[in-house]
Chain A
Amino acid sequence: MLIFGVLRSGLYSLTSVGLALSVGVIGIVNFAHGEFLMLGAFLGYWLFVSYGVDPLAAIPIGAAAIFLLGGAVYQLSIRRVLRAPELNQMLLTFGLSIFLQNLAIILWTGDPRVATVSYKAEALAVGPFTLGVPQLVVFGLAMALTIGLYAVLGGTRVGKAMRAVAQNRLGASLLGIDVDRIYLLAFGLSTALAGIAGMMITLQLSVSPFIGLLYTLKAFAIMVIAGLGNINGVIYASLVLGLSEAFVEFYVPQGGGWAEGVFFFLILVVLLVRPRGLFR
């Protein structure tokens, strides 16, 4: 049971790490995060169906496309509300999420679609356990990307600039950092990560315009448990969520229905007891 929880946390952390970046650097809580994920999933689907590109191989294309889209969205809308009250930022991204979801419905109808990747149902036997191949892949990718992102933030000039901006916007600009460009980069990167998570959903599950909200909510929960904007806490928080869900589902009768309640209750308790997050 441990192993199920750990595996599922891969997808969760992939979903949340982008949101954590956007919150941490820009301070924007993006309610449309799940919609970027959904668009990434559709992109992965169409690349697979039309050109036979495996969603894993399509990651660079998909990430680049969603990065550009996210950048455009930032330039056209987010940039204008950076100084606006939080409520307006929240509502803007709400509007964005309604817009993107319905755009997807018009473009591709509301039907769910499945990309039949050949190893979708494959499993590896490891000792007494059987582990799903796509889940393993997603887990590995999530770890690699999160650690990679952490390394970029810690080791490169852009990354250091991002951290500087996150800590003190004014100070950073005094140091000659182009804050606006860093924001653009961070938002693009955040949506690109959501896009990658979406493509992994294509790999593992099915795609429809309605999948966004569920993952937005999961990402919120993970972010809260990690501490808002805390990127390295995301992995641990995803583990906490994945494990607690799996335990409830397995050990509680009819646990599937309660798992979600546990997850929201956990957020509530964490916020009330340790509003800065568990892993900070």
Chain B
Amino acid sequence: MTGRALVRGGLLLAVLAAVVVLPLWVNRTQPYYLQLSINVLIFATLALSWDILARTGQLSLAHAAFYGLGAYTSVLLTTRAGLPIVAGMAAGAVVAVVAAVLLGVLTLRLRGIYFAIATLAFSETLRVITNQVRFTGAATGLVAPPLLGGHRPSQYLVILTILLALTLVSWWVNRSRWHFAFTAIRANEEVAAVMGVDVVRFKVLAFAISALFAGITGAFYAHVFLFISPLEAYSLAVSVGALVAPIFGGLYTTAGPLVGAVVLRAGEEVLRSTVQRGYPIIYGFLLAAVILYMPGGLAGVWASLAARIPRPARRGARGEPAGS
């Protein structure tokens, strides 16, 4: 048992080392891939942080709100108050968390589609306010200072660290007592409450964690691509993208949203550079097909494949189908 754990640990370390070192080496020869990796990591962070909230049964369309709040807070503080960028990003995350706790408490009673529409309305309200108020640069948008002098490899390490931290949190959530609390709330809130789960606390906590990472990612985006505007930062596309990847990869898992994000972004990039004009039609078609034929996402397919290979002592249920 300890032997296996050691091997696993060693392997994980090796992978980590490779993920850290490889791109730095890639930057000299193929900076294109470094840029793609950054784009993918941003997407993956949004996807996984959205999934953590979804584990409590809260299907949010407000991910763009926290992303946008993070971006705007950081850019405003760094450009108007002269704060260092790191402080700005941290403040962005904090503001996102505060907003999430507020929204989380307000929407406690709402379920399913009611919740989804309420969160969408919240996000759009923020967009309109940002769009109308002069202080936030209004519709024209704001130019942001570059993070770490615009040095891409360092920026890559920053977003990688953020994602790794999130992955650890997500992994821990799915391994700890929280997992049962989240799953119970998702299955039936009343029953969960009877079982002694503090429903309010866990729902709001999930919201806070989710928003923390969305906010910091938004701030990161702003300081890497150097420009934000209400239409782009609070875009519905951000919220939708954040939920597409987990559903594609497999909901309520740690690997699912990550793999989903990588496959979708990589696939999109290949389509973009080969098909050019009409490719979103393929994207839309695939999305529908996945829902129809792979309701558990990639993780579901993986689980059913794994289930066909008899292996002794597989612990725990894996590839839990979406929505159970």
Residues of chain A touching chain B, judged by Cβ–Cβ distance below 8 Å, are 29, 77, 80-81, 84-88, 90-92, 94-103, 105-106, 213, 217, 220-221, 224, 228, 254, 257-258, 260-261, 264-265, 267-268, 271-272, 275
Q: Which of A96, A100, A258, A271 meets B132, CB within 8 Å?
A: A258
Is the CB–CB distance between A91 and B118 below 8 Å? Answer: no
Once A87-B247, A260-B128 are accepted as A-B contacts, the answer to whether A272 and B118 lie under 8 Å apart by CB is yes
Whether B314 sits at the interface, judged by CB under 8 Å, is no
A61 CB → nearest B CB, Å:
26
7 sample A-B contacts, Cβ–Cβ < 8 Å, listed by A number: A84-B295, A84-B323, A87-B54, A96-B288, A101-B280, A257-B132, A271-B121
Is the CB–CB distance between A94 and B244 below 8 Å? Answer: yes
Is the CB–CB distance between A103 and B281 below 8 Å? Answer: yes
CB neighbours of A272 from chain B (8 A) = 106-107, 110, 118
Is the CB–CB distance between A106 and B281 below 8 Å? Answer: yes
Whether B171 sits at the interface, judged by CB under 8 Å, is no
B210 CB → nearest A CB, Å:
15
Is the CB–CB distance between A264 and B291 below 8 Å? Answer: no
Whether B117 sits at the interface, judged by CB under 8 Å, is yes
Residue of B nearest to A85 (CB): B323
CB neighbours of B109 from chain A (8 A) = 275
Whether B159 sits at the interface, judged by CB under 8 Å, is no
Interface residues of B in 264-304 (CB under 8 A from A): 277-278, 280-281, 283-292, 295
Q: How far is the CA of A268 from the CA of B120 in the complex (A)?
A: 9
Is the CB–CB distance between A98 and B284 below 8 Å? Answer: yes
Is the CB–CB distance between B322 and A88 below 8 Å? Answer: yes
Whether B73 sits at the interface, judged by CB under 8 Å, is no
- Tell me if B's interface is mostly helix, strand, loop or mixed: helix
Is the CB–CB distance between A268 and B125 below 8 Å? Answer: yes
Candidate in B120, B121, B280 with the most chain A CB atoms within 10 angstroms: B121
Q: How far is the CA of A84 from the CA of B295 in the complex (A)?
A: 8
Q: Which of B251, B281, B287 meets A94, CB within 8 Å?
A: B287
Q: How far is the CA of A220 from the CA of B236 in the complex (A)?
A: 14
Interface residues of B in 117-135 (CB under 8 A from A): 117-118, 120-122, 124-125, 128-129, 131-132
Q: How far is the CA of A100 from the CA of B288 in the complex (A)?
A: 11
CB neighbours of B290 from chain A (8 A) = 95
Q: Which of B59, B128, B278 meets A90, CB within 8 Å?
A: B59
B308 CB → nearest A CB, Å:
23
Q: How far is the CA of A157 from the CA of B300 in the complex (A)?
A: 42
Q: How far is the CA of A217 from the CA of B278 in the complex (A)?
A: 25
Is the CB–CB distance between A98 and B280 below 8 Å? Answer: yes
Q: How far is the CA of A91 from the CA of B278 in the complex (A)?
A: 21
Is the CB–CB distance between A257 and B284 below 8 Å? Answer: no
Whether B112 sits at the interface, judged by CB under 8 Å, is yes
CB neighbours of B285 from chain A (8 A) = 95, 99
B135 CB → nearest A CB, Å:
15
Residue of A nearest to B186 (CB): A85
Q: How far is the CA of A272 from the CA of B291 in the complex (A)?
A: 31
Is the CB–CB distance between B131 and A87 below 8 Å? Answer: no
Is the CB–CB distance between B287 and A95 below 8 Å? Answer: yes
CB neighbours of A228 from chain B (8 A) = 113-114
Is the CB–CB distance between A257 and B118 below 8 Å? Answer: no
CB neighbours of A96 from chain B (8 A) = 284, 288
Whether B83 sits at the interface, judged by CB under 8 Å, is no
Residue of B nearest to A271 (CB): B118
CB neighbours of A101 from chain B (8 A) = 280, 284
Whether B240 sits at the interface, judged by CB under 8 Å, is yes
Is the CB–CB distance between A271 and B287 below 8 Å? Answer: no
Whether B243 sits at the interface, judged by CB under 8 Å, is yes
Is the CB–CB distance between A92 and B292 below 8 Å? Answer: yes
Q: Which of A94, A102, A224 meets B117, CB within 8 Å?
A: A224
Whether B197 sits at the interface, judged by CB under 8 Å, is no
Whether B192 sits at the interface, judged by CB under 8 Å, is no
Whether B231 sits at the interface, judged by CB under 8 Å, is no
CB neighbours of B114 from chain A (8 A) = 224, 228, 271, 275
CB neighbours of B107 from chain A (8 A) = 271-272
Is the CB–CB distance between A80 and B292 below 8 Å? Answer: yes
Once A87-B54, A272-B106 are accepted as A-B contacts, the answer to whether A267 and B118 lie under 8 Å apart by CB is yes
Q: How far is the CA of A101 from the CA of B323 in the complex (A)?
A: 28
CB neighbours of B128 from chain A (8 A) = 257-258, 260-261, 264
Is the CB–CB distance between B118 and A99 below 8 Å? Answer: no
Is the CB–CB distance between B281 and A267 below 8 Å? Answer: no
Residue of A nearest to B54 (CB): A87
Whether B99 sits at the interface, judged by CB under 8 Å, is no
Whether B116 sits at the interface, judged by CB under 8 Å, is yes
Q: How far is the CA of A261 from the CA of B132 in the complex (A)?
A: 10
- As a 0/1 sequence over residues 88 to 120 of chain B, the CB contacts with chain A under 8 angstroms (1 = contact) are 000000000000000000110110111011101
A181 CB → nearest B CB, Å:
21
Is the CB–CB distance between B288 and A77 below 8 Å? Answer: yes
Is the CB–CB distance between B244 and A91 below 8 Å? Answer: yes
CB neighbours of B284 from chain A (8 A) = 95-102
CB neighbours of B287 from chain A (8 A) = 91-92, 94-95, 98-99
Is the CB–CB distance between A87 and B281 below 8 Å? Answer: no
Is the CB–CB distance between A88 and B288 below 8 Å? Answer: no
Among all A-B residue pairs, the 8 with the closest Cβ atoms? A85-B323, A95-B287, A261-B128, A98-B284, A99-B284, A95-B288, A102-B281, A267-B121
Is the CB–CB distance between B295 and A99 below 8 Å? Answer: no
Is the CB–CB distance between A88 and B121 below 8 Å? Answer: no
Residue of B nearest to A73 (CB): B288
CB neighbours of A91 from chain B (8 A) = 243-244, 247, 287, 291
Is the CB–CB distance between B132 and A106 below 8 Å? Answer: no
